[in-house]
Amino acid sequence: MSATAPATPLLAVRGVKTYYGNIIALKGVDVDIHEGEIVTLIGANGAGKSTLMMTICGAPQARDGTVRFAGRDITRLPTHEIMRLRIAQSPEGRRIFPRMSVYENLQMGAALEGGSHFAADLERMFEMFPRLKERIHQRGGTLSGGEQQMLAIARALMSRPRLLLLDEPSLGLAPLVVRQIFDAIRLLNETEGLTVFLVEQNAYHALKLAHRGYVMVNGVITMSGTGADLLARPEVRSAYLDGGH
């Protein structure tokens, strides 16, 4: 798929530098994501992966460089306006609203959607994650980690995004749940052409799933290529895959 990708990417990150106070977290990052692709970003803890995700959403904003979405410069837009262009994020730490029910969390996901597809979309989420249907009236804060992760992804999907940003969906989850979530992502990509940008520490599964991947070290992209290509590289294997997967 990446070989035949169209010329203008859906998301184009160019020379982005992000700071926390005076500390630089991203030192000039370039990333392209084309419509219909699954792209993954792997790297060690603290490399700046989540910072890149949040910078795309304008929280914090890049101090230097540009972020373009569907041809439009979104670098300086406030977060809520960026999200209204149909970017959705399932963020690091999941950030489920703890004192809202599962149903209300999903309603929040659909806040931009206006409600016209709400019932149908809800049904779709229940098909994908039947556990959420069982928990529908339970408070978000009382769900297990895996259930919260499913809810975070479902909430993001409720807005019918053009681009889905997933930050470490496998963190702290049992292998079976991880597979379930990755299968769901693959299915959405294959059946609906959903574009996904996936940040992962679980490099093996992420590179298996993705069409293309980037490797980030200390706020810099050090390698990129197709998923299979990166998986085969010895430096990727030794840094991110040894010690089992």
Partner 1 sequence: MDIFLQQLINGLTLGSIYGLIAIGYTMVFGIIGMVNFAHGDVFMVSAFIALICVLLLTTVVGISSIFLVLAITLVVAMAFTGLVSWAIERLAYRPLRGSFRLAPMISAIGMSIFLSNFVQVAQGPRNKPLPPMVPDVIVLMERDGYQVTLAYKQILIMAVTAGLLFGFWWLVQKTPLGRAQRACEQDRKMAALLGINVDRTISLTFVIGAALAAVAGVLYLMYYGVVNFADGFVPGVKAFTAAVLGGIGSLPGAVLGGLLIGLIETFWSAYFSIEYKDVAAFSILVVVLIFMPQGLLGRPEVEKV
Residues 48-77 interacting with partner 1 (rule: CB under 8 A): 57, 59
| Residue 151 structure tokens | 């809810």
State in angstroms the smallest separation of the CB of 50 from partner 1: 12
Contact 197, 41 (CB under 8 A): yes
Other C-beta atoms closer than 10 Å to the C-beta of 201 total 15
Residue from 63, 72, 76, 99 that binds partner 1 (CB under 8 A)?
99
Minimum CB separation of residue 138 from partner 1 in Å reads 12
Minimum distance from residue 191 beta carbon to partner 1 (Å): 24
Omega into 60 within 30° of 0, i.e. cis? yes
Nearer to partner 1, 36 or 109 (CB): 109
Please give the Cα distance from 64 to 173 (Å, whole number): 36
Contact between 219 and 24 under an 8 Å Cβ cutoff? The reply is yes
- Looking at 106-114, 120-128, 203-211, 213-221, which segment touches partner 1 (CB under 8 A)? 106-114
The residue (of 79 and 201) whose beta carbon lies closer to partner 1 is: 79
State the minimum distance, in angstroms, from the CB of residue 89 to partner 1: 5
**In angstroms, what is the minimal distance from the CB of 235 to partner 1?**
34
- DSSP per-residue string spanning 211-239: SEEEEEETTEEEEEEEHHHHHH-HHHIII
| Binding of residue 84 to partner 1 (CB under 8 A) | yes
Best CA proximity match to 137, nearest among 160, 106, 161:
106
For the segment 122-181, give every residue that binds partner 1 (CB under 8 A): 141-143, 155, 159
Binding flag, residue 10, partner 1 (CB under 8 A): no
Q: Give whole-number Cα distances, 35 to 60, 124, 192, 197, in Å.
A: 25, 22, 11, 11
Task: Tell me if 104 contacts partner 1 by CB under 8 A.
Answer: yes
Least separation in angstroms between CB 243 and partner 1: 27
- The DSSP symbol for 5 reads -
CA angle, residues 51, 183, 8, in degrees to nearest 5: 55
Q: Pick the closer one to partner 1 by CB: 118 or 126.
A: 118
CB of 190 to partner 1, least distance (A): 26
Asked if 184 and 128 count as a contact pair (C-beta separation under 8 A), the reply is yes
**Which phi and psi angles does 162 have, rounded to 5°?**
-85, -30
Return d(Cα 38, Cα 166) in angstroms, integer: 11
Which of the ranges 12-20, 44-52, 83-91, 130-138 carries the binding residues for partner 1, by CB under 8 A? Answer: 83-91
Which of these ranges, 14-22, 27-35, 98-106, 127-135, lies near partner 1 under the rule CB under 8 A? 98-106
List contacts with partner 1 (CB under 8 A).
57, 59, 78-80, 83-84, 89, 91, 93, 95, 97-100, 104, 107-109, 111-112, 141-143, 155, 159
